[in-house]
Structure 1
Amino acid sequence: MSKTNEMVDLPYRLEKFGANGWTVSRMTAAEAARFVTAHPDAAMPCWRRFDVIDGALVLVR
């Protein structure tokens, strides 16, 4: 995940959005960075492996 237009399959918890469980959405790395920043309550454990760098979600760990 190094380019902002690269596609990412981002898992997230649904409780933040009024449902139970989790889902996965396909989005660009830039959209994923905005989502992760805007919805920290939806974080999955794997989110600890990501960082937002230059406006894109990047796998760093």
Structure 2
Amino acid sequence: MSQREKILQLLKAGPATNQQLNKVCYRYGARIHELRNAGHNIISEQIDRGLWQFRLEAQSRG
């Protein structure tokens, strides 16, 4: 399983922090960018200084 697939699987299970994503892949930001470019709606919000939470929003079917 690729790093991108691992991160997507983690986000499908629920919100994940940058600390959790960093354990999967040091360059998680690049993988998030790839997933967004692939059409996944990933929301990021700052929880605390240096701590971010990422969540996968449901895809709207049009």
The verdict on a shared fold, with TM-score over 0.5 as the criterion, is no
* Larger strand share, 1 or 2: 1
* Larger helix share, 1 or 2: 2
TM-score, normalising length from structure 1?
A: 0.33
